[in-house]
A and B are shown apart, each in its own frame.
Chain A
């Protein structure tokens, strides 16, 4: 049986790599009986989702433009290269 300490490590790694079958099974069992680890998992996903949302908000914000000075300079260096 996994401890919460073990489970939390596996949950974190599930954001970075594919878990093995054995890990997935053990984690599933643990999450069935442990609401704190389940909430921990939801928290990590919530953090990631919030950051993703923030990124796409900046990316899609048409009011954010490259400073025109930079653009001008860039035009010049493109022309001269």
Chain B
């Protein structure tokens, strides 16, 4: 187990950090992962420890995200009142109110960084629940059914929240990134 920690510890930490973006939470989940691994009866038989450990880690990360969402859900009641939020995006006939433009995606590292910076700012402006769901789905690439099970929401509900989040994000990017 010591050698695993040396060989895979940093990778697992980066994996968690990329998803949770919080060094403390990342440390915690990696620690929990190793402790769970050592208690597992099958740990000695693992031929691909990194894959196996990453599998455990993914579940730990989802647990943390679920807790984050719960905290958000209690503190953020405005989420429930956004039923008409997407009506602003279209006119009465269902045509785009703000027509999506053609984006020239960044090609070099600096421009990519700028794009991600604006994207992050736009994500911060999302309603908390929508942000968490979007991050779980598009940033962490969590399986949709897994999200719904973990968050105890219907898949239809998840699609609607994700749709609103993406509509808001693309508009925000168009204003703040293309405009810059």
Using a CB–CB distance below 8 Å, which chain A residues touch chain B?
A: 3-6, 8-9, 12-13, 15-17, 36-37, 39-40, 42-44, 46-48, 50-56, 58-62, 64-67, 70-71, 73-75, 77-78, 81
Contacts and interface: CB of A to CB of B under 8 A. Distances in A.
Contacts of A75: 2, 5
Given A40-B96, A51-B119, A74-B30, 20 more contacts: A3-B95, A8-B163, A12-B166, A15-B137, A39-B99, A39-B101, A39-B102, A40-B170, A42-B102, A42-B103, A47-B169, A50-B112, A50-B115, A51-B116, A55-B19, A64-B14, A65-B10, A66-B10, A74-B5, A78-B34
17 contacts: A3-B95, A4-B95, A8-B167, A16-B144, A36-B100, A39-B99, A39-B100, A39-B101, A47-B138, A53-B112, A54-B116, A66-B9, A66-B13, A70-B31, A74-B5, A74-B30, A81-B35
A12 to B, nearest CB: 4
A78 B96 contact: no
Interface residues of B, number: 55
Contacts of B103: 39, 42-43, 46
In the complex, which of the residues A8, A52, A53, A55 has the most CB atoms of chain B within 10 Å of its own CB atom? A8
Interface of B: 1-2, 5, 9-15, 17-19, 23, 27, 30-31, 34-35, 38-39, 86, 89-90, 93-96, 99-103, 105, 112, 115-116, 119, 137-141, 144, 155, 158-159, 162-163, 166-167, 169-170, 173-174
A31 B86 CA distance: 21
A47 B166 CA distance: 9
Contacts of A40: 96, 100, 170
Nearest to A40: B100
Contacts of B170: 40, 43-44, 47
Nearest to A49: B105
A52 B141 contact: yes
Contact of A48 (B95, B101, B138): B138
A74 B34 contact: yes
Contact of A43 (B11, B23, B100): B100
B162 A70 contact: no
B102 A12 contact: no
A51 B39 CA distance: 34
